[in-house]
Amino acid sequence: MKKQNILITGGFGLLGKPLILKLINLKYNVFILEKKKNSKRLVFLPKKPKKIIQGDFTNKELVGKIIKKNKIDVIFHLGAITQVLDSLKKPYETHSVNVMGTINFLENIRLINKKIIFIYSSSDKAYGELKKRKEYKESDTLDGVYPYDVSKSSSDLICQSYSKTYKMKVGIIRCGNIYGPGDLNLGRLIPEVILSTIAKKKFIIRSNGKARRDYVFVEDVADAYLKLFKKIKFSKDHLKIYNVSSKFNYSVLQVVNMILKKMNSVKLKSIVLNNSKQELNFQRLNYSKIKRDLRWKPKTDIQLGLEKTIAWYIKFYKFLKNNKRQQLK
């Protein structure tokens, strides 16, 4: 039986690395589409993929050539501008990458081969913010105000449109806050707190610290993507949408205090900027559908997840020191 060729965007990201490892272990041919082919982040890939392709998925013609040349069967589209603050400063770029980049894949699949499976990484922010505190279900209306939120809700709806209109196999995962070892976006809350604590420096909390989120461990999320892939691969249905989350809903300050306690640094002070007014105050996802349909549920509680994450960043900090804190670009 022919090995399937799988293309992944965002392969050097937090979720991309464990997903690549799992796919390679399952004997798939994994191709990574990356803007910078000689990225220094290569050193953190757990296993070497079949091929790393240099290119920008905002280029529609290039995306088409890559799909044809490499005979791609499945696309995991994880790549995006993910930092909310970056999206506020660069709204045009955010929509160009997050929305038009997604359309470029969908349109090429429509024109080249509608049998290609497309799995899109959406977000809990695609729901916007409900006035009443409740769990979002997949049936809830998508919304959004700020550039990042709207880029995710728009792309999510566009994926649904292509699937329903052109009978294309599309899977969508809307995920809570992913955390875990290997996040090289060091400005995010958990990496910043851990690395600052190791260095015994004050760390920055950009919000007021009260915003509540679901926290789900990256390995569990990668498992959810694989289960979705297998489901849609053998299903007669063209569209599958699932929330992926956990029962662990905490405020920013609660997560910070858990980290400090585990690192025996409860006296370390933080700088609370309270300048992230666009942050949604409360988000919680109901994941009963994926639990019922795919028998997926989070395996890693936040205490164990944070311990694994802290252990990884301790090693990572030593790596940075030994490599003179090189820029990981």
Query: DSSP letter at 199?
Result: T
Residues of 206-225 as b/e, b for ≥16 C-beta within 10 angstroms? bbbbebbbbbbbbbbbbbbb
pLDDT at position 273, please?
61
E strand spans, the chain = 5-9, 29-34, 51-54, 74-77, 117-121, 170-175, 177-179, 203-205, 212-217, 239-244, 249-251, 270-272
Q: How far apart are CA 193 and CA 196, in angstroms?
A: 5
| 120 phi, psi to nearest 5 deg | -105, 135
- Please name which of 99, 20, 15 lies closest in space to residue 57, comparing C-alpha atoms: 99
pLDDT at 277: 60
Structure confidence by residue, pLDDT tens digits, 5-57:
999 999 989 999 999 999 999 999 999 999 876 566 666 777 788 899 999 99
- Say what the pLDDT of residue 129 is: 78
Q: In this predicted model, what pLDDT tens digit does every residue of 114-138 receive, in sequence order?
A: 999 999 999 999 998 766 667 899 9
The Cα 196–Cα 182 span in angstroms is: 16
Rounded Cα distance, 143 and 63, in Å: 28
Of 249, 273, 280, 251, nearest to 149 by C-alpha is 280
User: How high is the mean pLDDT of the chain?
Assistant: 90
Give the start-end residues of each E strand in 10-97. 29-34, 51-54, 74-77
Phi and psi angles of residue 74, each rounded to the nearest 5 degrees, phi first: -140, 140
154 alpha-carbon distance from chain centroid: 17
The 10s digit of each residue's pLDDT in 232-245 is 999 999 999 999 99
Spell out the alpha helix ranges (H) of 167-287: 189-198, 218-234, 252-262
Residue 282's nearest CA partner among 139, 132, 123 is: 132
Q: Which of 273, 255, 271 is nearest to 309 (CA)?
A: 255
Please give the pLDDT value at position 170: 98
Confidence of residue 66 (pLDDT cuts 50, 70, 90): very high
Query: What span, in angstroms and rounded, lies between the C-alpha atoms of 172 and 154?
Result: 13
**Spatial separation of the C-alpha atoms in residues 74 and 322, rounded to whole Å:** 38
Output the pTM of the full model: 0.93
Catalytic residues: 148
Mind listing the domains of the chain with CATH numbers? 5-178+215-244 (3.40.50.720), 181-213+247-279+300-322 (3.90.25.10)
> 320: Cβ–Cβ under 8 A, 6 or more apart, which residues?
326
**Helix (H) or strand (E) segment spanning residue 309:** helix 302-322
Residue 323: its pLDDT value, please? Answer: 74
Measured in degrees and rounded to the nearest 5, phi and psi for residue 154 equal -65, -50
